Structure 1
Amino acid sequence: MGNRVSTVGLLRMPWLVETCKQVKILDDLKQNAGDRFPSSDYHPPDRMNWMSGLNSQRIHINKIVWPGTHDSATNQIGIPIITRPFAECQSLSIYDQLVWGVRALDIRVQHERKVCHGPIASYSIDVVIRDVKSFLSETQSEIIILEIRTEYGCQDPPEFDEYLVDQLGELLIHQDERVFGKTVAELLPRRVICVWKPRQQSAPPKAAGQPLWSAHSLRDDWVDTDLPLTKFESNLQRLSEQPPASSRKFFYRVENTLTPQTANMSVIVEPLARTMHRYARLFIAQCFSRGFADRLQIFSTDFVEEDFVDACIGFTQARIEGKA
């Protein structure tokens, strides 16, 4: 036992040293440069209706900083203590996330229409759809980006396009580049931008006017690392290479997350997530100070917290007020 523990400790040591080094650099940056930005002190009086609170007639879709969650439907996934710590990225239900102000969801499915994270499956996609519809029935002016993809290594659920259209029906905002220049009020009463990303390479892109949006309409650059500064700077670099949100005709997501790496024995999601939480506002502030705050659009996190949501809403308010 002693030899095994020592071996594990030796394997982790370089990663722990590097992680501590990177955390210190980020903490120093936060202390010296600060993590404030225009409207960073804004806190919505009602997160459940924050789009309405900012005036849906003034909020253009391409000016919103969408608070998002990564692997959104992983609450209750796996077996507690045994597999859940390795697969759970959110502790709140989809409905509760939306009530907290989340407006961009990342849903993974497998062949049997169950949500999943990697090989670990959970509840039916019906639960997600039910939560989305319940939330929308209780609000009037909130719009949601609902991205659903077939998880890597899984087969596409059969006839899933038809299922989504049947379930969401009149709530769907149809694919159209003109949507980006419209206000929330101009899109109502339709409420859901549903992006469906099947794994089948032969799946044709969705034509304009179709109820579901194509995979190319929501893009990101996933950085596979468990090192905070590496992720932070890589995200900034890749974001800086994007066109401004006001001119591009697709959504672009940045994920304020870290990815567990088995080689470093950093296999439990939540401690890594908590490490990155403290740098979310710093990331937005650095976008401003480095001159590309106009690029940020969807900003996602694991184990979402209210302060993360408030930061995104504050940034959105700054854009509406012409401060950013």
Structure 2
Amino acid sequence: MGSFLSKQMERRRAISTQKKLLCDLKEKDNTDFPGCDHCPEDRKNWMSTLALNKLHVNKIVWPGTHDSATNKIGIPFISRPFARTQSLSIYDQLVMGTRVLDIRVQKDGRVCHGILVSYNVDVVINDVKKFLSETQSEIIILEIRTEFGHDDPPEFDKYLENQLGEFLIHQDDSVFNKTVAELLPKRVICVWKPRKSAQPKHGSSLWSAGYLKDNWMDTDLPETKFESNMKHLSEQQPVTSRKHFYRVENTVTPQADNPVLCVKPVTNRIRPHARLFIKECICRGYGDRLQIYSTDFIDEDFVDACIGLTNARIEGKI
């Protein structure tokens, strides 16, 4: 018992120290970066407020959500706080400005996060289609994967093609160098990541797993995750030189050996430092590598930071 308590006290000190390190860095360097003061006129249609003929796919800083469809996962006040990473519906996330969705499914087609389940994936697809019907120039990256430990939903690729066919941008390396204006009226890059089924092939309407990469570090230590994200980003090529999307997730996650297991208080250790990460990327020479930037519990400030940096790229400020 004494050993357990000692270990927990050590962990709490480590978390406190790491939170202070990030706060001190923020106070020392502030969070100003090219485009940081940009305020979009309309987040729901933010791509259309920029110069679509200059907005290249590979230069967009895509605001994304981590475990996007968890707003109603589990049982309220019982299991939900341990798995919910977003409080908004998929539709509301898109209206706020989210453009990359991370959806996990199990064999029966329900959205899941580990062993906890939520609504059927139809809810996600219907929200996406509703948003697309209300906008004209917004491109979405829809990543759908079979959750670890689960079997693939049967014929799920055909389901996605049937549901989103008219909007799907086909898998093609040339897409990265195209502008949004050149892709329209197609508007969805759908990355399907099955665990056992065959991956989508080149030229198909769905994109394979290799086109959306990240380096996930499972930790609840904020400065550790911050620096891990920075290290892995530094190892990437500039966005103009690669033919895949690379995602950085501004998140930390509860750990089984720590008494704080609810997602929100844990992930809030790093959430306030999204702009600091962008600033540090630029200061350390990696500003041309940031592309998909995701978070838990997305908010307007996070979206605005991504849009501002995107606009700065269009204007040649970075």
TM-score, length of structure 2 as denominator length: 0.98
3-state SS of paired residue (1:131): helix
Q: Map 1:46-195 onto structure 2 (within 5 A).
A: 46-195=42-191
3-state SS of paired residue (2:55): coil
Pick which of 261-270 and 138-147 moved more.
261-270
Structure 2 residues not aligned, in runs of 5+: none
Deviation track 1:133-191 (CA, whole Å, cap 9, x = no partner) reads 00010000000000000000100000000000000011000000000000001000011
**Partner letter of residue 44 of structure 1?**
P
Aligned match of 1:219: 213
Give the alignment partner of residue 224 of structure 2, picking from 223, 230, 233. 230
**Partner letter of residue 257 of structure 1?**
T
Q: Do residues 301 (structure 1) and 292 (structure 2) align?
A: no
3-state SS of paired residue (2:159): helix
Give the alignment partner of residue 312 of structure 1, picking from 301, 306, 312. 306
Structure 1 residues not aligned, in runs of 5+: none
**Partner letter of residue 33 of structure 2?**
F
CA shift at 1:15, angstroms?
1.3
Aligned match of 1:258: 252
Give the alignment partner of residue 273 of structure 2, picking from 270, 275, 279. 279
CA shift at 1:206, angstroms?
2.5
Aligned match of 1:37: 33
Pick which of 44-53 and 204-213 moved more.
204-213
Q: Is the 8 A contact 1:261 1:267 kept in 2?
A: yes
User: May I ask how many residue pairs the two structures share in their alignment?
Assistant: 318
CA shift at 1:9, angstroms?
5.3
Q: Is the 8 A contact 1:226 1:266 kept in 2?
A: no
3-state SS of paired residue (1:133): helix
In 1, distance between residues paired with 2:153 and 2:200? 17
3-state SS of paired residue (1:238): helix
CA shift at 1:265, angstroms?
2.0
In 1, distance between residues paired with 2:273 and 2:287? 16
Q: Percent identity?
A: 63
**Partner letter of residue 81 of structure 2?**
P
**Partner letter of residue 321 of structure 1?**
E
In 2, distance between residues paired with 1:177 and 1:44? 30
3-state SS of paired residue (2:275): helix
**Partner letter of residue 268 of structure 1?**
C
CA shift at 1:12, angstroms?
2.6
In 2, distance between residues paired with 1:197 and 1:14? 39
Deviation track 1:19-47 (CA, whole Å, cap 9, x = no partner) reads 11011111111111111100101110100
Q: Is the 8 A contact 1:11 1:264 kept in 2?
A: no
TM-score, length of structure 1 as denominator length: 0.96
Q: Is the 8 A contact 2:220 2:255 kept in 1?
A: yes
CA shift at 1:7, angstroms?
8.3
CA shift at 1:10, angstroms?
4.4
**Partner letter of residue 273 of structure 1?**
T
- Structure 1 stretches of 4+ with a deviation exceeding 4 A read 6-11
In 1, distance between residues paired with 2:306 and 2:268? 18
Q: Is the 8 A contact 2:213 2:244 kept in 1?
A: yes
Q: Is the 8 A contact 2:220 2:267 kept in 1?
A: no
Pick which of 97-106 and 30-39 moved more.
30-39
Give the alignment partner of residue 13 of structure 1, picking from 4, 9, 13. 9
